[in-house]
Amino acid sequence: MTYTFPDFFFWGAATSSYQIEGAIAAEGRKPSVWDRFAATPGRVLNGDTGAIACDHYHRFREDVTLMADLGIRHYRFSIAWPRVIPDGRGAVNEAGVDFYRRLVDCLEEHGITPYATLFHWDSPQALEDRYGSWRSREMAQDFAEYVAAVVERLGDRISHWITLNEIACFTHLGYGVGQIPPHAPGTVVATPKDVWQTSHHALLGHGLACQAIRAASPIPCAVALVDNYAVTVPLAETPEHITAAQVAFHTAWANGGILFPALTGAYSPLLLEKLGADAPDIQDGDLQTICQPLDVLGLNVYSGSYVRAADNADGFETLPFPASYPRLHMPWLWVVPDALYWGVRHVSEVLGHRQLSIWVTENGCAVEDVLTEQGEVLDCDRILYLRQHLQAAHRAVSEGYPLGGYFVWSLLDNFEWAWGHDRRFGLTYVDFDTQQRIPKASARWYAECIRQNRVV
């Protein structure tokens, strides 16, 4: 079978500001919660920080040229809030904005379309100190004002905007009940309700940001939300197991409290029943603000879980992975390629959004890359992973689901959050001591997929 994509399908690459930019004190930038978190002993593996990362702030032209050489014509990046408004609210740092002007102009020179994520976890430390970041409803309004400032200044250059990246990660993994959580700001809270309140405030921020983008943009633009939902995959594609996977989708991780309200205007009733008193407080008008019309939904897909029908109160059972099941170089990175197809399908069938355009905004894997004596990285394991996921993407497109594009994660090895520089997701090997960039075998393979518009 030839896995050729239709002409409308686009191929891209993705990064995020704190993971690649470095230059954490350059030209007026002030600390983010990740600067504080990474500087705290014991929080990040090997004591790594994003202080330099890939030094993209100074080397962006090299990185854009690298993309162009690979044939990548669509680039998803993020804008650092503490670079643009260092105190989180108030004065705009025009020098910080100018960096993104230079970046976007360079992309245009190389024929690469920019897709800007307005928040990829690096919130201003000043707002954490002021009112506890996402624990406060104030954060949603401050975020919307930051968004308006960015779009007013860059909206003549950028027509694809993403409000927030992976709400569940910076809330449910950033706030821990009775214990220090693995992500910044690393805040200990008293109850699960406190955690759900943070993701509710983030949803408010998303809704207000959608309104701010559309009000501020000087040109027609597309507005998206990116979610790393939990994908429930039927153990076998039979009616009873498919139904079980669809029901399980409501309460898998944070789906029912993030994707559902964003797309339907209501928390999943199955989730609310499960949460009981731990459900967040929802004020009048919140859900109308949260459920803004979207032009695109971005889905970050890395893994999934298998579900089967069961004779129990839930009607389904989520299955554990056997000891021998394939997993790549992260504890959670089980190889479940069908998750990409079923994730897209669930949006259409479970959430009822059959016409909503979808992009896969992240898909990739960490593997144990080795630089050979010949100066190569022969990451055939990454190629295997990506090939299987792209075949699942092709299935979704061929069955008529509205999947229009794909961003591989990531262009570069980077600062991988609490794993520091130890885990490598890039198509390009980065020597963090010398900042040398070395395209891996997967980069050349991906370039050929782009050239032929098919999975090779």
- Residue 231 is encoded by which pair of tokens? 């994908």
Catalytic residue among 21, 94, 109, 166: 166
The candidate with the shortest Cα–Cα distance to 257, out of 310, 218, 200, 327, is 200
The total of other beta-carbon atoms located within 10 Å of residue 446's CB is 25
Give, rounded to a whole angstrom, the gap between the first and last alpha carbons of the chain: 11
Q: How far apart are the C-alpha atoms of 260 and 249, rounded to whole Å?
A: 10
Say how far residue 323 (Cα) sits from the centre of its chain. 28
Alpha helices of 40-85 — where are they, by DSSP H? 56-70, 81-84
Q: How far apart are the C-alpha atoms of 329 and 424, rounded to whole Å?
A: 8
The candidate with the shortest Cα–Cα distance to 17, out of 108, 107, 119, 96, is 119
User: What are the angstrom distances between the C-alpha of 195 and each of 102, 137, 251, 270, 383?
Assistant: 38, 13, 16, 18, 37
Is 416 among the residues known to form the active site?
Answer: no
> Scanning the structure block, which residue is given the tokens 């919130």?
123
Cβ–Cβ under 8 Å, residues 385 and 401: no
DSSP 311: S
E-assigned strand segments in 6-49: 10-14
Q: How far apart are the C-alpha atoms of 362 and 40, rounded to whole Å?
A: 28
Catalytic residue among 21, 362, 373, 399: 362
Residue 121 backbone class (left: φ over 0; alpha: ψ -120 to 50; beta: rest): left
Q: How far apart are the C-alpha atoms of 14 and 110, rounded to whole Å?
A: 16
Is 362 among the residues known to form the active site?
Answer: yes
Exposed, middle or buried, 211 (CB in 10 Å: 0-12/13-18/19+)? middle
Residues serving a catalytic function are 166, 362
